[in-house]
Amino acid sequence: MTSLQKLCLAFLAAGLVLATAPLAQAQISPAEFGGSATCQGLRAKYSSLVGKRLIVGFGGYTAGFEAPAADDPSKIVGLDPDLFDYMGACLGFSHKFENGSFNVLLTSITSGRVDIGPSLYVTPPRLKQVAFVSSFAVIDGSVVRKGNPKHLVSLDSLCGATVAAAAGTYEAVSLIPPASEACEKAGKPKISLLLLQNTDNSIQAVQSGRADIYLTAESDAEALAKGNIGLQTAFTINLPILNGFPIDKSNTTLRHAVLDAMRAIQAAGIEKALLAKWGQGAASERPAAANG
């Protein structure tokens, strides 16, 4: 252990925060973080979670958030797995990932089949079903063919273009429809929306020319562009929504515990470093909050 890490541990053990050195604190492992005075207090406060095994449900994989590791497909890596490691170490629970269909993820949470989901967009329709613990804003990215032949450089430039988006996503429901209306009001061609079932189909649509652009989370867009010859990223959009972990509304203990753990993770500078590591950007962090 380096002297810098020892210094960070000394501050954590005292329950103090090094707000000016978030990247240094992020070097602390989940186990070391779990030994802090703050986490010891949270384990005492939420003792029913200590030793419990939580089921974390996924609705497919999203690069940067949760996806099989390139060198070991049996291992799931990304922002969410890292945050669950820190939360679990702090609160005393272990966790297991279960992947399933996205369209039944929220009902799996409300039925109790899984305890918590991955970080998702916090939207009004979803808040009718579940509660969220949010901690960062959403930055959308975009994927186009190499050379960006349609010169798509912003949301305003999409007039007349065909956008691929997964059915039911924020992009398909709340982002493109009003943008298309704005195009028509300005006397420009509307935006065509090509609704598809998943990321693979959306990328294939862009590669084949059926769609001009695919909109998704920035980290996902970056990974897709790097992993597919002939593709590149185009522009980003700061969306007016938050990203958070969905939890059943009735599970108040887990909701409060996750909120307190995320506040501790943020205070230690850990989340900012992980957001930077996985492509969302440290600037996207927002104060951890309960939603719904």
Q: What single-letter DSSP state applies at residue 116?
A: B
Collapsing DSSP states into helix, strand and coil, what is residue 100?
A: coil
Which two tokens mark 2? Answer: 């380096």
CATH superfamily of 3-136+243-291: Periplasmic binding protein-like II (3.40.190.10)
Is 274 in contact with 84 (CB distance < 8 Å)? no
Given this model, what pLDDT does residue 110 score?
Answer: 97
Given this model, what pLDDT does residue 106 score?
Answer: 94
Given this model, what pLDDT does residue 217 score?
Answer: 84
Question: What DSSP element (H or E) covers 25?
Answer: helix 22-25
Given this model, what pLDDT does residue 61 score?
Answer: 85
Mean pLDDT, the chain, integer: 89
Taking residue 48's Cβ as centre, other Cβ atoms within 10 Å add up to 11
CATH superfamily of 139-239: Periplasmic binding protein-like II (3.40.190.10)
Given this model, what pLDDT does residue 60 score?
Answer: 82
Taking residue 124's Cβ as centre, other Cβ atoms within 10 Å add up to 9
CA gap 149, 129 in Å, rounded:
41
**Taking the domains of the chain in order of start, what are their residue ranges?**
3-136+243-291, 139-239
Quote the percentage of the chain above a pLDDT of 70.
91
Given this model, what pLDDT does residue 17 score?
Answer: 35
Residues 6+ apart with CB under 8 A from 248: 109, 110, 112, 115, 130, 131, 254
Angle between helix 270-277 and helix 79-91 axes, rounded to 10 deg: 160
Residues 239-284: tens digit of each pLDDT:
888 999 999 999 999 999 999 999 999 999 999 999 999 988 898 9
Question: What DSSP element (H or E) covers 223?
Answer: helix 218-227
Residue spans of the chain under pLDDT 70? 1-26
